[in-house]
Each structure stands twice: as structure tokens, then as C-alpha cells.
Amino acid sequence: MDEAAIVLRVVLGGLMAFHGTDKLFRWWGSNGISDSLDFFSSRGYRPPLLMAYAAGVTEAVGGLLLLTGTATYLAAAMLLGVVVNILSIHVRSGLDNRRGGCEFDLTLLAGVVAVTLLGPGSYSVDDLLGVPDESWMPVAALVAGALSGLAIVASRRAPREAAR
């Protein structure tokens, strides 16, 4: 199971760190925070600039923590909050990702839940440092992540209608 945990941690952590660093630093070809600001503004997030930075930092830091297996349950809670938020936007468009649906988001959700349930594993900074891996930690991470994501979802205003 340790091998499964490391595969999930590296892939999910890497993907989330990729998205977060792109938002913050434009390292991978986007327009960075300005793209995120436009997106968050159009989706009713308040205040949109703060939410854009919060998303970028959460994705980058949570992704890097998960990738290395450092504070794994905190990282999982952070990323679960982001994924719940993303899922709330795309689920309205159905499953098909080509139509703005949520199939990729569901895959991220399943991965974050799976790595949370597996725990950091032997090949992690948590294990190297002797961080306890108690049975309540995965449940606490899942509950905290889901609640934080739902709190952000609940704070959104209705999205602006497209200009005609």
C-alpha cells in the first residue's frame, strides 16, 4: 500500500502544485492571477482577488505538501476543499469534461479521498519525521476539507450573466 500512496501523492500533489504555481507565477503559460481574477469574479466569489490568491496558494502549498508527504492530512484537507469548490462549479454541466463537466474533478476528488485514507505511507517526510498516523486523522481531514470547500461554495454570489 505504501507504493500506492506515493503514486497518488506524487501525481495529485504535482497536478495541484502545477495549477497553483501557474495561478501565482504564470510559470506554465497562463496569464496568472489576472486569469484567475476574471474567473473568480465571473463565478461570484467575494472578494475575487483574495479568492484567486487563496486558491493559488492553497493549490501550490497543498500540492507540494502532498507530493512530499509532509503534513499529509493537512494537505489532503486543503486540496479537498479546493476540489469540492471546483466540483460545485462543474457538476451543473454534467459529466463530460468536453462540455465543462465534472469528470476530471471527480477523478481528483477520488484521488484525494484515496490518498487520505491510505495515509502518508513509509516513503514520506511524515514517516521520516515520525509524525503520528492516528486512525482519526483521515476522518478529520476529510470532514475539515469538505466543510471548508462547502463554506466557500456557500459564500459565493450568483454568477454574473454573460454579456449579450
pTM confidence score: 0.90
Between CA 129 and CA 51 the distance in angstroms is: 33
DSSP state of 151: H
Q: Are 120 and 126 in contact (CB under 8 A)?
A: yes
Nearest to 63 by CA among 27, 93, 98: 27
Between CA 24 and CA 158 the distance in angstroms is: 25
Q: What is the pLDDT of residue 118?
A: 94
Q: What is the pLDDT of residues 120-133, one digit of tens each?
A: 999 999 999 999 99
Q: What is the pLDDT of residues 16-33, one digit of tens each?
A: 999 999 999 988 888 889
Domain extent listing, the chain? 2-155
